[in-house]
Chain A
Amino acid sequence: MAAPMAGRLAALGRRLAPPARAWLPGLTQVRWSRYGPSYLEPEVNKEVYRKPLEGLSEEEKTQRELKTLQPIKATASNVTSSVFSDPTISKFTNMMMKGGNKVLARSIVTQTLEAIKRKQIEKYHQASEEERESIECNPYVIFHQALKNCQPIIGLCNIQKGGKTYQVPSPLKDNRKRFLAMKWLITECREHKHHRTFMHEKLSQELLQAFNNEGPVIKRKHDMHKMAEANRAYAHYRWW
């Protein structure tokens, strides 16, 4: 991946000089922020502010003091302090969004969660007493577990050596794993299902299958693992 190179240079830049940003010849900063280095990150969780002063550790007390003095960045508009906000769900909605139509993406995700809940409640009512405890009805739990089940452990990356490109097995970062799981779920529903069924129906079906470790997305994850296993010989081509 090209990422390691830039990452290494950035780390080098940070070590060279005390402030976070450093100027290096031949390296221009592409991403910048309107906020200076003194701006703090916002804290959205209400519970943090409800703790009494005595119950805070030294570190938390210094944090609180800093907050009264230093300026704070503005929160993103998709972050709320409500019980229902979930960063994974927000990420998923953003990935589903097409053409900036967040309203549609969000409504699809809400309908998916609703559909999952309905299916599970129906199963619950029809199941016998012993089975009822094992049936999970909370759609958020199902969503998170399904995503976790779809995440690959090991991935492949393209490395050029001697004019040929090899698929080399390499470890994946957490963000990359999460991204791949969501991407596979969404593409599976968009491309391999009947185009006249609603997205929320297709998605809820896929998520429930992934929750039970079956279905096409889990199969794709296993295929990725098999490819990595098959290409074990090239593992030493990786130098990081």
Chain B
Amino acid sequence: MKAKHSKETVELAPSYLTALVPANHAEQHEGQHYSIPLQEVKVVFPHGLPYRFQMQMKTFNESCLMVRKPALELLGYLKNTNFAHPAIRYVIYGEKGTGKTMTLCHAVHYCAKQDWLVLHIPDAHLWVKNCRELMQSSYNKERFDQPLEASTWLKNFKTSNDHFLKEIKTQQTYMWSKRESTEKGRPLGEVVEQGLTRVKNASDAVGVVLKELKKQCPLGSFRLLVAVDGINALWGRTTLRKKDKSAVSPEELTLVHNLRKMVVNDWNGGAIVTTLSQTGSLFKPRSAYLPHELLGKVSTHWTLSFPSRFPITVSESLRAVISITLTASGFNMREPVQKKGEMNCCFSATPTPGSWNGSLLISDTKESSLAATAAF
């Protein structure tokens, strides 16, 4: 499949495709891409891949992730986790467009391959803004439910972790209403079904799932990875309002409340990987990327690691991206023109993508790589 393209075109970057599994990625693979079969992508990433990556997948009919240093570091830590100790919280931060979400997806793919249970929240910002139906929670009168967001998340959770849901059993009876309940000892899949069929109870179903997983993970039958994109949404502000036009704070949302409990490191047997994101955030300036700017006071409690900016120089990664997009488009360009075009791209892409406001230069590495492909 790939060999057909690479025979025809001029190789500008070293062999850029490795068919290895994330577990075998090492420092020598830095800068190279590895592809995930599309069937696997549907199972492992029903949600969570950034929009531009999905467009690339649709155009080239393949999904290739680049192996980068922060991801390798994170994978190294995940490989050496001690499951007897409390779950370590990893925070990936960096400026806009540097690859935080993709690093998270790399870690998620690795853990999925290692047969961990992956709890992937694609974008926590979606839970604190633009909610069409905000209902008062039946469980706790103070809190608010979000049936739509909860049910979409449950559907995607089911796709990625089907086999686990049959094995894990509830340890408590849950009464959904006067007539419906889930007995103790039933598989967790039934709770998810309940949340999907009765959308009113979806947020509570999510809460139940999180609670059960947290209680049962220390017992050791499975490993849990909690991957949250945009963790700063849980401690920020919301744009949601109550009926009397007063603002809703994040604690008053059931989903956020339960997720906050999940992300506390009082359980063991897994890891928590999170990303700070300004892109979907509310009431934060565009230039904010450091943990104390985005998280506020909470940042003092968190382990700080993994700045997502770049040990791989931008021009190297650009060359790799350009060469891979060119071969995927099936091109046979003369070398001098290609090199000149690449030089142009490297000059116009700045080392911190997204740091140019309203300038005519193409300010995103992905955009500039696409401008290069558009040129050829």
Contact = CB atoms under 8 A, between A and B. Distances in A.
User: A and B: partners?
Assistant: yes
Interface string B219-257: 000000000000000000000000000000000000000
B337 interface: yes
B132 interface: no
Interface in A68-125: 82-84, 102-103, 106, 110, 113-114, 116-118, 121-122, 124-125
A155 to B, nearest CB: 32
B259 interface: no
Contacts, number: 51
Given A122-B59, A137-B331, A83 B374 contact: no
A83 B337 contact: yes
Interface string A126-160: 00000010000111100000000000000000000
Contact of A121 (B60, B337, B344, B362): B60
Given A84-B375, A103-B358, A132-B330, A118 B59 contact: yes
Nearest to B376: A138
A84 B371 contact: yes
Interface in B322-351: 328-331, 337, 340-341, 344
B329 A137 contact: yes
B370 interface: yes
Nearest to B56: A118
Instruction: Report which residue of B59, B331, B341, B370 has the largest number of chain A beta carbons within 10 angstroms of its beta carbon.
Output: B59
Interface residues of B, number: 24
B360 A103 contact: yes
Contacts of A83: 337, 340-341, 344, 375
Nearest to A80: B344
B114 interface: no
B344 A106 contact: no
A45 to B, nearest CB: 13
Interface of A: 82-84, 102-103, 106, 110, 113-114, 116-118, 121-122, 124-125, 132, 137-140
Give 9 nearest A-B pairs by CB, closest first: A113-B374, A118-B59, A82-B344, A117-B374, A83-B341, A121-B329, A121-B59, A139-B374, A114-B370
Given A84-B344, A122-B59, 10 more contacts: A82-B344, A83-B344, A84-B371, A84-B375, A110-B374, A122-B58, A124-B329, A137-B329, A139-B374, A140-B374
20 contacts: A83-B337, A83-B341, A83-B344, A84-B341, A84-B371, A103-B359, A114-B370, A114-B371, A116-B374, A117-B329, A117-B370, A118-B59, A121-B59, A121-B328, A124-B329, A125-B60, A132-B330, A137-B330, A138-B376, A140-B375
